[in-house]
Structure 1
């Protein structure tokens, strides 16, 4: 987890919850979802913040940013107008936490206004803001439901904020170490950036315009260690392919997450899994888990270029392994 830096929390579970699917892709059958739950809720070696799971030792990298939240003027004004609501929620958590949002009072003096689904969802909106401020934190989950508590009961008492500029630099370095190669600047992404600033060393990639930043440790390892590839089925949210532009430029890999498209317009499937083989992204697998029926249905294996026999065997082996890990029977090609 320290090397990966984060696991994204996402409600989509066509195969398995994203955090579990990424962990399985990286660790294999030895990984069990209860391991992640224990690390988050019992051992507190991990924490969930802004829909990402991170090592607790990285918390100091985010504390300074929490102290300045919220950053939008409209949100600050809403929080100021609801001081008593703010106090009520903290008092309730202090007395009875951890609690779900439904167990907390909505005493908002000014409702949250939005043209989207958050309109008038005052309690959930306040909880999100207070979490971003580091006043509360997610204590645990029951299914998808989050339970909140005072941050002092979840985060270690000895965590000290690293100055913001230093924290940004260290996070850039850690992100580059996880990715190996990335752009210094890139378009903003939801939740987590994909750029790395001035971390690492400047490099160029043959046939790809512009410059990149490369992790020095990755360069050293590439020159001194014999590469041993493997085959893996990746989550669409795995950081290897999360930046679709980077995946296209470095791997020639075209991918779009199609669960938001009408079925008739999908090319690869609702939640197609990118296929990594050795050092290439070579295709997508359209599959869906039906836990009630006890089956993993493989609708299609899309080959970006025709697979040779070894690649086919490796992909089918991974699908068998995925079905076994899920405790399901595999059906399909």
Structure 2
């Protein structure tokens, strides 16, 4: 029998699962494990997505150098293609790609370039870790594309091998990735999973991170937000259909919310359909739209207040000028004094974390300093 949740309870579960309530988490590695992954995206209108997601949870104590150390230093976290993950999830990610039905073109391209694959593995065994530019292109059949990946044979083969567990990403030099053999990057003792075991593992991990989610849905690019048969069925007041809920979150003792500024790629709002159904929140990333067609801004940050998504922040960080320019604060609901104070405080904290000064037409006023009582003479 399905559970029955109020809309407010469903929202609280989603916020709590994403570590966006109080108290804040304090451990970087444990935070990433809970979130399941951090999406790597080069856009840095404010900060890179992985850093912005962690700042939203950990606050100003978060130092991006700590993430680099975790990934490239002690490998308590690892980079896969497009994501940073806990090593515990790598076997499932590999098994899912390895055993899933592949597009015939991929199968044919990999088969035709088997000698190329062997050349790469031999070179990495002898000289790894290596940047892709340091690996010779001995492909037999080039990678055809009408887009930017056309003839990027080395990169496509390295990513294919990484997804299948034959190669691992060992670190970075700027935006370029170092590749090496997986036994030099991943911790010892990782299990080999079957396809079914991998799907079960990933579904359970996604539900732990999302709290409440749909079993299936429209195919989306990248990591999908669906959880299969994980968790337990539930009905949400006013929302059609059946959801899956993580049973550990059904009884949240004393939910305490806070205000948070979110990355456009944050998992709380990444599934736009889920965000609209659960939170009544409409969002589109407008960086690809012409300026005169944008409603909220180039890289608007969704604003969370307790268990409600209340608006968007249009701001841009200019590190050369040393300023965080706040162009607008878009209110989806009429802000209360508490909401306004919370949003202004988060903007100041964001600027402080970035080492920038807040400016712009919608910049919050500077907090008043308390007058120091005069000393008696």
Q: TM-score range by the shorter chain?
A: over 0.9
**What corresponds to 1:203 in structure 2?**
234
Deviations, residues 258-288 of structure 1 (Å, cap 9, x unaligned): 1111111110011100000011000000111
Structure 1 stretches (4+) deviating beyond 4 angstroms?
none
Which of residues 170, 181, 191 in structure 2 aligns to 1:139? Answer: 170
CA distance in 1, matches of 2:92, 2:157: 23
CA distance in 2, matches of 1:126, 1:70: 18
CA distance in 1, matches of 2:154, 2:201: 34
Local SS of the residue matching 2:226: coil
Q: Is the 8 A contact 2:301 2:313 kept in 1?
A: yes
Segment drifting more, 205-214 vs 269-278: 205-214
Deviation at 1:65, TM superposition (A): 2.7
**What corresponds to 1:27 in structure 2?**
58
**What corresponds to 2:208 in structure 1?**
177
CA distance in 2, matches of 1:78, 1:199: 35
Using CA pairs under 8 Å that are at least 6 residues apart, name the structure with larger relative contact order, 1 or 2.
2
Does residue 58 of structure 1 match 2:58? no
Does residue 320 of structure 1 match 2:351? no
CA distance in 2, matches of 1:327, 1:17: 15
Q: 1:157 to 1:67 in 2, by over 3 A?
A: farther
Aligned pairs, number: 330
Segment drifting more, 273-282 vs 208-217: 208-217
**What corresponds to 2:29 in structure 1?**
none
Flag structure 2 segments of 5+ consecutive residues without an equivalent: 1-31, 363-377
**What corresponds to 1:120 in structure 2?**
151
The structure with the largest alpha-carbon Rg is: 2
Deviation at 1:168, TM superposition (A): 1.0
Deviations, residues 92-131 of structure 1 (Å, cap 9, x unaligned): 2122111111111011111111111111111111111111
CA-based RMSD: 1.3
Which of residues 253, 267, 271 in structure 1 aligns to 2:295? Answer: 267
Deviation at 1:66, TM superposition (A): 4.6
CA distance in 2, matches of 1:298, 1:157: 47
**What corresponds to 1:329 in structure 2?**
357
Local SS of the residue matching 1:77: helix
Local SS of the residue matching 1:138: strand
CA distance in 2, matches of 1:104, 1:318: 45
Q: Is the 8 A contact 1:140 1:148 kept in 2?
A: yes
Matches within 5 A, 1:50-199: 50-68=81-99, 71-199=102-230
Q: Is the 8 A contact 2:262 2:304 kept in 1?
A: yes
Deviation at 1:70, TM superposition (A): 8.1
